[in-house]
Amino acid sequence: MDRPLRVAALASGRGSNLAALIAARLPVEFVLVGSDKAKAGALTVAAEAGIPTVHVSPRDFADRVSFDRALFGKVAEAKPDLLVLAGYMRIIDASVVADWEGRAINIHPSLLPKYRGLHTHRQCLDAGDTEHGASVHFVTAELDGGPVIAQARIPVMPGDTEDALAERLLVEEHRLLPAVVKAIASGRLGWSNGPTFDNQSLSSPLSLRTLL
């Protein structure tokens, strides 16, 4: 590619993963940040970085698919090469996701396929796991079920609470997501009927160490 990778992002919350992406000074061009929440911190993070923003409210639509088509239509207008779901907290209609096959990634706070959905830190502690982590995966219609690209791991410490575990893991999330986007921007990570790394099919998730 003879130009920077064009990246759009969707987020529902404070935007810490988005801020980490911006701070990493990757060889990309951020073309849009969108949200389903008018007061999402991510929109402020984007605006302060000079990135165009858009808010689309689910309340303005009769059903989920109509909302998804409207929001993702706005994203498509920005012509991104890659869509990053950075704390976007809504399930996306399968027909909408299909249009982004191989071009959308999501970061999730668990070692997928463990603990899809919400409350991953609580589930990890309740299960008595000795290890926790974060995963970046390609987005498919299956909730947190797309092919996993890379993972970062941390030990579960004696006396860990949900908040303590979440805080320690967030540090690794802020390293993992930029590393994956950088690998995509450089052409090392791609999609050809599934994820590829260095032009070979990716059969198991990469470690964060491999990407750094």
Integer Rg of the chain from CA: 17
Environment class of residue 50 by beta-carbon count within 10 Å: exposed (0-12), middle (13-18) or buried (19+)? exposed
Going by the DSSP 8-state scheme, the letter that residue 110 receives in this structure is: S
Q: How many CA atoms lie within 13 A of 146 on its CB side?
A: 27
CB 85 within 8 A of CB 22: no
Residue 125 tokens, joined? 């502690």
Angle (CA) 81 87 90, round 5°: 90
Q: Per this entry, what is the length of the chain?
A: 212
Q: Are strands 189-191 and 195-197 parallel, antiparallel or unpaired?
A: antiparallel
Question: Sign of torsion, CA 89 15 187 211?
Answer: negative
CB 37 within 8 A of CB 70: no
Backbone phi and psi for residue 196, each to the nearest 5 degrees, phi listed first: -130, 150
Catalytic residues: 108
